[in-house]
Amino acid sequence: LLEISERLSTLDMITNSHVTSVEVSGVKTLVALCEVKTSPDSRWLSDLPEMVNQYFPSHMRPRHFGLYRERLRTSTGKTDV
């Protein structure tokens, strides 16, 4: 998961990411939460699956993405994963 997260963070619009596995209807799937530099435009969003397909084999591709502008922080200032 760390390898996927690190690779996603090299994409132009993404500054940081966290990838986790969740179970949806009994099937494990990958979800990526990504901090983006600016609000992504519709073209970048539509190109995101193609970029992911280019960099990862099918078993390593996140199926769902959450995009946010600022990292969530705990009360002590640490990144809230």
Regarding pTM above 0.75, the answer is yes
Structure token pair of residue 66: 């959450």
Average pLDDT, 10 consecutive residues per value, the chain (81 residues): 92 89 91 87 85 90 87 74 65
Per-residue pLDDT, 42: 83
* Contact present, 34 and 17 (Cβ < 8 Å): yes
* Contact present, 39 and 25 (Cβ < 8 Å): no
Q: How far is residue 80 from each of residues 3, 10, 50, 51, measured CA to CA in Å?
A: 19, 21, 29, 26
Per-residue pLDDT, 44: 83
